[in-house]
Amino acid sequence: MARKYKHFIIDSGPEISRVTISRPGDRNSINSEVIAELGLVLSGLEATDCRAVIFTGGGDEYFIGGADGIEMMQCTPDQARDFSQRIQAVFDRMEHSPLILLAAINGLCFGGGFEFAMSCDLRVASETARIGLPETKVGIIPGGGGTQRLPRLVGMGLASEMILTGRLYKGQEALSLGLVNRCAPQDKLLASAEDLLAQALRQPRHALAHAKAALRAARHETHAQGQKAESEQFSQCFKHDYFIELMRSQLRAGTLVSTAQLPAGFLDGGPGKEK
C-alpha cells in the first residue's frame, strides 16, 4: 500500500508521477513537517520505476506561498539558522535526486516556494503565476538557498534586482527573464509540463542521471572542477552499451557513414578497444 503523507498527495504514474503540495489554509507554505516529508517523498519515488516528478500546488491560488511565517516568527536567531539549514538541506537533496524534477507553478510562488522551484531541474509557469523572492519586504532575506541559486540561474544583476526590490513577476515575464522554461495557460499547465518531460524522457535513464550530475557541478563548482566532473560523468556513460549499440546499428543500416576502419567483427558485436 502506498504511504500516506500529511502534506503531499502522490499520483504515481509508470514514468511520471505528480506530487501536489497540500496545506489548505496555509498557502501550501513550507514548515518543518513539509521539510521532513519531502525527503521521504523523494526516497519513496526513487525506489520505484518513476523517472520524473511534476510538483504542483493544491488549489488554484498558490504553488507554494513561501516558508511558514507563523513558524518563523517564533524563532530565535539560533532557531532561524537551524530552520534555514534544514530547508537548504532538503532542497540540496532535490538537486541530487536521480529523478527529473519539474515545478508546475500554478499560482503564487514566492520566497521558499520559488527556492523550491529553483531546486527542480525544470520549471513551467501558468500565465497567472507570480514568482519572486520578496523576503526583504518583510525584513528578512531568502533562507532556503535563494541568494545562491538565483544568481546562477539568471546572473547577478537580475538576481540583485529581484532580491533587493522584492518584486514578483508574472508568468510571461518570468519566461522572458529565464526564471522558467515555459509558460502556459492555467488549464494547459500540466499538459505543457508533461510534454516537456516527455521530450527529456526519450533519452536513456543513465544519460539523464549523468547529465544532471554534470549540470550540478556547473552550479556549484569552479570551471576547472566542473570540467573534471563533466569528463568523469562522460566516462561513466561508457559503462553502458547504449551509445555503442546505437552506432553499430546505424553503421549496419547505412544511416551513418564513415571511412574509419573498425576491428574485424566489431559491427557484429565483437570487441573494439579495451575498456
Q: How far apart are CA 250 and CA 138, in angstroms?
A: 60
d(CA 90, CA 97): 11
- Of these residues, 115, 173, 194, 274, which one is catalytic? 115
Cα 159 to Cα 10: distance, rounded to the nearest angstrom: 33
Q: Which residues pair with 10 in a beta bridge?
A: 19
Q: Residue count of the chain, please give it.
A: 275
Alpha carbon of residue 222 to chain centroid: 21
Nearest-angstrom CA–CA distance, 139 and 166: 11
Look-up of cell digits 516537456: 196
30 by DSSP, 3-state: which?
strand
The one catalytic residue in 33, 95, 127, 135 is 135
Query: Is 71 noted as a catalytic residue in this protein?
Result: no
Count CB neighbours of 208 within 10 A: 19
In the residue annotation, 135 being an active-site residue is answered as yes
Catalytic residues: 115, 135
